[in-house]
Amino acid sequence: MTEAPVAERGALVLFSGGQDSTTCLAWALERYRRVETIGFDYGQRHAVELACREPVRRGLRELSPVWDDRLGDDHVVDAGVIASIGRTALTSDAAIEMDERGLPTTFVPGRNLLFLVLAGAVAVRRKLTILVGGMCETDFSGYPDCRDDSVKAMQVALNLGMDQRFALETPLMRLDKSATWRLAETLGGARLVDLVRTGTHTCYLGEHRSLHPWGYGCGNCPACVLRARGYDAYQATRVAR
């Protein structure tokens, strides 16, 4: 599977157990000799997603002996402060619902910035100098902390503030969801696409009972709609090839 030259520097992948971060993890396993993962626990909405992490890591190990050899420790950091800010910021009669960007009204601005700071702190301890995240400015223009400029600014801030030489890698930054499915196929063939499809979770509502062609989810929330649309577009290009 390996095509790109393998870097000796170790990588820490922000890994939520969703489609994007799973694809990023496979991408990192192709490139770096040592890869560790970090996840953030901040409330029950994401409990299903978090529960996907270990089975997905196991699935990636089974796909390739090289990946099995490179995949190292997993770190789960308590980021409950995010949920507490989200709740505190709501007035007592405000409902928790999706806003026009597909974010719950409890969403805390700058969440991904905080994740990068926490990941940087763990990476220093683990002597890892590459941080890999699934930030993408193509599908979610409403997430200002996922924009390329924000991530580049964080790279400067982390390197100054932690006296490091981190490189922040965002392999999905310019990809749409269809291209993300395609990237999974390029990295690990149909078996990786299948692992992403059935092993990862993206649904905002945490629905994990119904298996659709594109995976598990409610099928109606913005995350499910985006994932389904991307999968359909990816399938259409496969037929055309």
- Site of interaction with Zn ion (CB under 5 A): 203, 205, 217-218, 221, 224
Taking the complex as a whole, the smallest distance from the CB of residue 199 to Zn ion amounts, in Å, to: 16
Nearer to Zn ion, 104 or 144 (CB): 104
Nearer to Zn ion, 67 or 204 (CB): 204
> Using an 8 Å Cβ cutoff, are 166 and 120 in contact?
yes
Compute the 3-state secondary structure of the chain and give helix, strand, coil in percent, each to the nearest 5.
Answer: 50, 15, 35
Taking the complex as a whole, the smallest distance from the CB of residue 222 to Zn ion amounts, in Å, to: 8
Q: What angle do CA 120, 172, 100 make, to 5 degrees?
A: 95
**How far is it, in rounded angstroms, from Cα 154 to Cα 14?**
15
Nearer to Zn ion, 166 or 181 (CB): 181
Taking the complex as a whole, the smallest distance from the CB of residue 232 to Zn ion amounts, in Å, to: 16
> Using an 8 Å Cβ cutoff, are 55 and 195 in contact?
no
Nearer to Zn ion, 98 or 218 (CB): 218
> Using an 8 Å Cβ cutoff, are 193 and 33 in contact?
no
Enter the DSSP assignment of 192. H
Taking the complex as a whole, the smallest distance from the CB of residue 151 to Zn ion amounts, in Å, to: 26
Nearer to Zn ion, 10 or 217 (CB): 217
> Using an 8 Å Cβ cutoff, are 226 and 139 in contact?
yes
Taking the complex as a whole, the smallest distance from the CB of residue 204 to Zn ion amounts, in Å, to: 5
User: How long, in residues, is the chain?
Assistant: 241
DSSP, collapsed to helix, strand or coil, labels residue 169 as strand
